[in-house]
Amino acid sequence: MKSVNVEIKKTTILSAYNQVKLLNDLDFPNFQKGEPIYELLMEIKRSIKKVKKEKKEGWKEFLEFWPLSIVIPSMLILILLGSAGVFD
């Protein structure tokens, strides 16, 4: 098993993250880079950022898709109708 899904309150994660950052800034050896609790909180933070980024990219997909679905077919129709002399 590579991942575990857990439901945790935002305030709990935020307070744990703040405590680890404080103890890391004070150079406590148990809360520095490479230690399990530090790595766990950094992984949670990266996961939260990834989820937020994925939610924001929904509009990006739409903006990339709409020219293909609306503009290009309408331009092709206009080119075909224009070359047939319909608009003359």
The per-residue pLDDT for 25 is 86
Q: Could you tell me the pLDDT band of residue 18, with boundaries at 50, 70 and 90?
A: confident
The per-residue pLDDT for 1 is 62
Answer for the pair 24, 32: CB distance below 8 angstroms, yes or no: yes
Q: In terms of Cα–Cα distance, which of 48, 52, 66, 59 is closest to 7?
A: 48
Average pLDDT taken over every residue of the chain: 77
Provide the whole-model pTM.
0.49
Q: Which DSSP letter does residue 16 get? A: H
Q: Where are the domains of the chain?
A: 1-56, 57-88
